[in-house]
Chains A and B, each alone.
Chain A
């Protein structure tokens, strides 16, 4: 796959995830406390071998785009940059016994349920904890904040899983 094609594909993914989030998903809420950070799908499902610097810049750009829309300064960006910084470590932590293939992507069918769920929950939890405590700026209402974090992890995790199951190729080795 040529470089231009890869870039176009990622650009399309970025536009899709952020626009769906801004236009639709940001309106939804779970139990009045949790909401779905749908745009994380773009960052979480980037190719595994993306350079670190590119990952960080993409996280910052995506977060800033959401921030501009929702008037939050650099809140989303800060959480997303942390998420992208930790992503390579989590991927390294979860290395299968025989290492990653060049063909491997973040895909629940390819990497298995266990791998995918640990990967998803770990990163989403880090992101949400950072986001909510940063937003509050203090530890004043711990119970409420943890309720929000829990509900949001549930919501975001379920949404990401649905995206995976619906739109990602089932057969191993067929990259699209």
Chain B
């Protein structure tokens, strides 16, 4: 016993060092995951108040800058109040119908509106493209009553780390919840991570785990935006197929696929794009619209429709991917359902490239889903193989089917799941 005490005393430095180092690394790793101990973040009351005081003092030195930002934003908001040019335009030469409330009827959505009768040239009715004059009249996202905005002040911000966070001066008392989107006047900012009574922390767009579902405004190509971790002014746009044409300066907006951000929020502009030999997709660099180094006022976007939409989409995925096929697929599928959901319902699997700001937990869940999908695909391939075997002569067909059928059905499912979904044409 005395030896033991002597040993402990002799190596107390090393042992304490190892213990403390393990504790700190554990805290650091825990911190990276979506959910974490509520105590250790700047949303807790004391740190939040301290940072708020600091911001109050620092404000006096940046009043001019803040005024400029407010001025620009006020100008933009006032602009929205004015009637646009096309508000009362009568397109007499174009077949535009109005319903009984006086709203425009979009011909590409309803080919035969009431009161108008069948179009003059019936041939073109099916493939009629939307009238580009009318596209200007589409409701702006900020007007959409499903997306009320909560104005907030950024009281802490970082942009030099690999994983950056913001702290806002709004909290649960103002209606902020974890998982809501955060936008600024100039574009997408991030997603609320955790909330206390009067403060909220936000996972910035400048975070290694974030991905925003985006779309190129000009032709509607959708892709996923992520931040490589070096320069806070630029991000990368993934999953733009090589055959698509890109133009420098193309506008990138949110696609609204993940129900965090409303569709059509500005994200940035295409700065440069490179075709790489070994990739199926363009490497696109996007200049972000938000200047994170001067971010002051932001809005928390509340999507009223999100819970309903998420539950519907989850049900769809469960229906589309029943745990059929081999017995190997079953445990993974049941585990997926039994897994406790984080605060927000998990996004459906078919949105893999487009999921919003993805956390580690969500990514893991999606990886599990993808695995299940692959297993189902493998089982289907096996079925296919059996059928072909029956049809053709046994000896000759067996080898070829095994070689050809096994990898094929897996590839399209694994690489680009969006294209296999039934509703992808309507997204274009």
Contact = CB atoms under 8 A, between A and B. Distances in A.
Interface of A: 22-23, 27, 29, 32-33, 35, 52-53, 56-57, 59-60, 63-64, 67-75, 77-78, 81-82, 85, 88, 134-137, 140-141, 144, 148
A72 B165 CA distance: 9
* Most A Cβ at <10 Å: residue of B41, B58, B158: B41
A148 B230 CA distance: 11
A27 B47 CA distance: 16
B58 A78 contact: no
Interface in B195-237: 201, 229-230
Contacts of B13: 52-53, 56, 85, 88
Contact of B16 (A56, A71, A73, A148): A56
Question: What does DSSP make chain A's interface, helix, strand, loop or mixed?
Answer: helix
B404 interface: no
Contact of B20 (A33, A77, A136): A77
B31 interface: yes
Interface in B17-36: 17, 20-21, 23-32, 36
Given A85-B21, A135-B162, 11 more contacts: A35-B160, A52-B16, A53-B12, A53-B16, A60-B24, A67-B40, A68-B41, A73-B30, A73-B31, A85-B17, A140-B229
A68 B44 contact: yes
Interface in B134-164: 156, 158, 160-163
B20 A56 contact: yes
Nearest to A140: B229
A154 to B, nearest CB: 15
13 contacts: A63-B24, A69-B50, A71-B167, A72-B31, A73-B27, A73-B28, A77-B23, A78-B21, A78-B24, A78-B25, A81-B24, A88-B13, A135-B162
Contacts of A74: 23-28, 31
A81 B20 contact: yes
B28 A72 contact: yes
Question: What does DSSP make chain B's interface, helix, strand, loop or mixed?
Answer: helix
B51 A52 contact: no
B392 to A, nearest CB: 50
Contacts of B25: 74, 78
Contacts of B30: 73
B386 to A, nearest CB: 45
Q: Which 10 A-B pairs have the closest CB atoms?
A: A73-B31, A74-B27, A74-B24, A77-B24, A78-B24, A52-B13, A73-B28, A74-B28, A85-B17, A60-B20
B324 interface: no
A35 B158 CA distance: 12
A29 B42 contact: no
A69 B42 contact: yes
